[in-house]
Amino acid sequence: MRKAYSILLLFFYLFSTTELHELVKIPILVEHYYHHSAANNNESLITFINEHYFSGDIHDEDYSQDKKLPFKSNDNCVLATTSVAVNPELFTIVKPAIFSIERNYKVEKNIHFSSDYLSSIWQPPKA
């Protein structure tokens, strides 16, 4: 049951917030193609798609029908506007405290290591 609800919510979300709702207009596309095919001596599907989707907006006698085709109009624009009114009396801004930690490192410039100490790591292990 949860899976069915999940699919239903996904369906509603995709159809309301994306252009997936344009797929509902595919029967109009098929009907319009049959109309063009009958009127234009069996016009091919490629020619029909090229004429209606890649040739710009042609204002001919069936322009109103052309605008009903899938992905030809912006009929489901979503505009989300949010305005926030903040009452300054409800909020106080406190400046954060800045902590300063002083670190003093004493650096000796005249540190000498004996050469035996430095070269001892390169010696083979002793049994």
pLDDT class of 4 with cuts at 50, 70, 90: very high
Q: Which two tokens stand for residue 49?
A: 């798609």
**How many C-beta atoms surround the C-beta of residue 52 within 10 A?**
20
For the chain, the domains span: 1-127
Question: What is the pLDDT confidence band of residue 77, given thresholds at 50, 70 and 90?
Answer: low
Range scoring the smallest mean pLDDT among 52-56, 95-99, 116-120:
116-120
Q: Is a pLDDT exceeding 70 seen at residue 61?
A: yes
Diameter of the chain by CA atoms?
102
The DSSP symbol for 121 reads: G
Q: Is the dihedral of CA 45, 50, 51, 57 positive or negative?
A: positive
What six digits make up the tokens of 119?
């070269």
